């Protein structure tokens, strides 16, 4: 199923909570690189726009679905990727 969802991330029509598709794609690529996991194990869960021009994309990483968050600027450049603390 993750492969199917990743394929959706490669679509030019995907929007996750208002984040542009380029932001979602860049977040998946950056998360794979930073968190040292295969891109196919990352699913874009939802996204928000907390401030003008800054997008937050929530990610599920790996078979356990560990939560991570990625932020991008208005040009879809990744600002950062971090795992979320367990609640």
Walk along the chain (87 residues) and give the pLDDT tens digit of each residue: 343 344 334 333 445 667 889 999 999 999 999 999 999 999 998 777 766 778 999 999 999 999 999 999 999 999 999 999 876
Domain ranges of the chain: 2-83
Across-strand partners of 66? 61
Q: Dihedral through CA 63, CA 69, CA 74, CA 79, nearest 10?
A: -110
Which pLDDT score, from 0 to 100, does residue 46 have?
A: 78
Q: Contact at 8 Å (CB) between 17 and 24?
A: no
Residue 51 backbone dihedrals phi, psi, to 5 degrees: -140, 160
């Amino acid at each position: 199923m993750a492969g199917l969802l990743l394929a959706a991330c490669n679509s030019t029509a995907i929007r996750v909570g208002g984040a542009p598709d380029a932001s979602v794609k860049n977040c998946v690529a950056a998360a794979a690189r930073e968190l040292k996991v295969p891109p196919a194990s990352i699913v874009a869960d939802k996204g928000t726009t907390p401030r003008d021009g800054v997008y937050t994309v929530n990610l599920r990483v790996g078979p356990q679905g560990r939560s991570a968050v990625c932020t991008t600027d208005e040009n879809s450049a990744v600002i950062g990727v971090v795992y979320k603390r367990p609640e």
